[in-house]
Structure 1
Amino acid sequence: MRLTILLASVAALALAGPSATTAQEPQPQQEEVVVDQGVLRPLPIAVVSFTGQNGAELSGVIRDDLRRSGYFEPLDPASFIETGLTLANAPNFPQWTSIGAQAVLYGEVTPRPDNRNDYGFRLYDPYRQCQLVAWKFTATPLQWRRIGHKIADLVYQRMTGESGFFDSRVVFVSESGTQLNRLSRLAISDQDGHDPVFLTQGDEIIMSPRFSMSDPNEITYVALGRDYSRIYLRNLQTGRTESLGEFDGQVLAPRFSNDGSKLAFSIIRGGNTDVYVMDLASRQLRRLTSDPGIDTSPSFSPDGSQIVFTSDRSGSARLYTMRADGSGQRPISRGGGIYTAPAWSPRGDLIAFTKQAGGRFSTGVMRTDGSGERILSSSYFEEGPSWAPNGRYIMFARQAPGGDTRLWTVDLSGRVVSQAGYPGRGSDPAWSPLLDEQPARLAATGPDACPT
Structure 2
Amino acid sequence: MSLFRTLVTALCVALGLGALSAPVLAQSGPLRIEITEGVIEPLPFAAPDFVAENGAAADYATNIARVIASDLTGTGLFREIPASAHISRVTSFDAPVAYADWKAINAQALITGAVEVGGDRIVVKFRLFDVVSGQPLGDGLQFAGTTQSWRRMAHKVADAVYSRITGEGGYFDSRVVFVSESGPKNARQKRLAVMDYDGANLAYLTDSSSIVLAPRFSPRGDQILFTSYTSGFPRIYLMDVASLATRALAEQPGTMTFAPRFSPDGQTVVFSLERGGNSDLYALSLGSGQLTQLTNAPSIETAPSFSPDGSQIVFESDRTGTQQLYIMPASGGEPRRISGGQGRYGTPVWSPRGDLIAFTKQNAGRFHIGVMRTDGSEERLLTASFLDEGPTWAPNGRVLMFTRETAGEGGRPALYSVDISGRNLKQIQTETAASDPAWSPLLP
TM-score above 0.5, yes or no: yes
Partner of 2:223: 218
Give the letter aligned to residue 345 of structure 2: Y
Deviations 1:255-294 (CA, angstroms, capped at 9, x unpaired)? 0001001000001111111111111101111111111121
The farther-off stretch of 327-336 and 421-430 is 421-430
Following TM superposition, by how much is the alpha carbon of 1:75 offset from its aligned partner in structure 2, in angstroms?
A: 1.3
Paired residues of 2:50 and 2:62 also in contact (CA < 8 A)? yes
Q: Does 2:16 correspond to 1:33?
A: no
The farther-off stretch of 391-400 and 31-40 is 31-40
Paired residues of 1:86 and 1:106 also in contact (CA < 8 A)? no
Distance in 2 between residues matched to 1:421 and 1:150, nearest whole Å: 21
SS in 2 for 1:69: coil
Aligned counterpart in structure 2 of residue 329 of structure 1, from 322, 335, 338: 335
Paired residues of 1:274 and 1:287 also in contact (CA < 8 A)? yes
SS in 2 for 1:394: strand
SS in 1 for 2:84: helix
Distance in 2 between residues matched to 1:285 and 1:41, nearest whole Å: 52
Aligned counterpart in structure 2 of residue 417 of structure 1, from 399, 403, 425: 425
Q: Does 2:242 correspond to 1:234?
A: no
Give runs of aligned pairs for residues 42-441 of structure 1, distance below 5 A.
42-52=42-52, 53=57, 54-112=60-118, 115-133=120-138, 134-213=140-219, 215-225=220-230, 227-247=232-252, 248-402=254-408, 403-436=411-444
Structure in which a larger fraction of residues adopt helix: 2
Give the letter aligned to residue 424 of structure 2: V
Distance in 2 between residues matched to 1:71 and 1:158, nearest whole Å: 13
Following TM superposition, by how much is the alpha carbon of 1:230 offset from its aligned partner in structure 2, in angstroms?
A: 2.2
Paired residues of 1:191 and 1:421 also in contact (CA < 8 A)? no
SS in 1 for 2:375: coil
Distance in 2 between residues matched to 1:303 and 1:361, nearest whole Å: 30
Distance in 2 between residues matched to 1:259 and 1:324, nearest whole Å: 13
Following TM superposition, by how much is the alpha carbon of 1:160 offset from its aligned partner in structure 2, in angstroms?
A: 0.1
Distance in 2 between residues matched to 1:103 and 1:340, nearest whole Å: 41
SS in 1 for 2:341: coil
Query: Alignment RMSD, CA only?
Result: 1.4
Distance in 2 between residues matched to 1:328 and 1:274, nearest whole Å: 14
Following TM superposition, by how much is the alpha carbon of 1:423 offset from its aligned partner in structure 2, in angstroms?
A: 4.3
SS in 2 for 1:167: coil
SS in 2 for 1:379: coil
Paired residues of 1:249 and 1:268 also in contact (CA < 8 A)? yes
Following TM superposition, by how much is the alpha carbon of 1:115 offset from its aligned partner in structure 2, in angstroms?
A: 4.5
Give the letter aligned to residue 351 of structure 1: I
- Please give the TM-score of this superposition, normalised by the length of structure 2: 0.89
Give the letter aligned to residue 408 of structure 1: Y
Give the letter aligned to residue 438 of structure 2: A
Identity %: 46
Give the letter aligned to residue 49 of structure 1: D
Partner of 1:18: none
Distance in 2 between residues matched to 1:266 and 1:241, nearest whole Å: 20
Unpaired runs of at least 5, structure 2: 15-38
Paired residues of 2:357 and 2:372 also in contact (CA < 8 A)? yes
Paired residues of 1:85 and 1:91 also in contact (CA < 8 A)? no
Following TM superposition, by how much is the alpha carbon of 1:124 offset from its aligned partner in structure 2, in angstroms?
A: 0.8
Deviations 1:316-364 (CA, angstroms, capped at 9, x unpaired)? 0000110011113111101010100000001111110000001100000
Give the letter aligned to residue 428 of structure 2: A
SS in 2 for 1:65: helix
Deviations 1:210-266 (CA, angstroms, capped at 9, x unpaired)? 0112x1111110111352332111111232222215223111100000100100000
Distance in 1 between residues matched to 2:170 and 2:360, nearest whole Å: 25
Unpaired runs of at least 5, structure 1: 1-27, 437-452
Distance in 1 between residues matched to 2:371 and 2:132, nearest whole Å: 38
The farther-off stretch of 392-401 and 239-248 is 239-248
- Please give the TM-score of this superposition, normalised by the length of structure 1: 0.88
Give the letter aligned to residue 50 of structure 1: F
Give the letter aligned to residue 105 of structure 1: I
Distance in 2 between residues matched to 1:111 and 1:423, nearest whole Å: 31
Deviations 1:169-206 (CA, angstroms, capped at 9, x unpaired)? 00001110012321000000000001111111101110
SS in 1 for 2:319: coil
Distance in 1 between residues matched to 2:235 and 2:407, nearest whole Å: 32
Paired residues of 1:383 and 1:396 also in contact (CA < 8 A)? yes
Paired residues of 1:249 and 1:269 also in contact (CA < 8 A)? yes
Distance in 2 between residues matched to 1:71 and 1:139, nearest whole Å: 29
Distance in 2 between residues matched to 1:29 and 1:198, nearest whole Å: 45
CA gap of 1:429–1:29, structure 2 versus 1, over 3 A, is: closer
SS in 2 for 1:57: helix
Distance in 2 between residues matched to 1:224 and 1:324, nearest whole Å: 28
Deviations 1:95-119 (CA, angstroms, capped at 9, x unpaired)? 101111000111110135x742210
Distance in 1 between residues matched to 2:291 and 2:310, nearest whole Å: 17
Which stretches of structure 1, 4 residues or longer, exceed 6 Å deviation after superposition? none
Deviations 1:421-450 (CA, angstroms, capped at 9, x unpaired)? 3343111100000002xxxxxxxxxxxxxx
Distance in 1 between residues matched to 2:6 and 2:78, nearest whole Å: 11
Give the letter aligned to residue 126 of structure 1: V
SS in 2 for 1:342: strand
The farther-off stretch of 139-148 and 388-397 is 139-148
Give the letter aligned to residue 33 of structure 1: L
Distance in 2 between residues matched to 1:153 and 1:413, nearest whole Å: 20
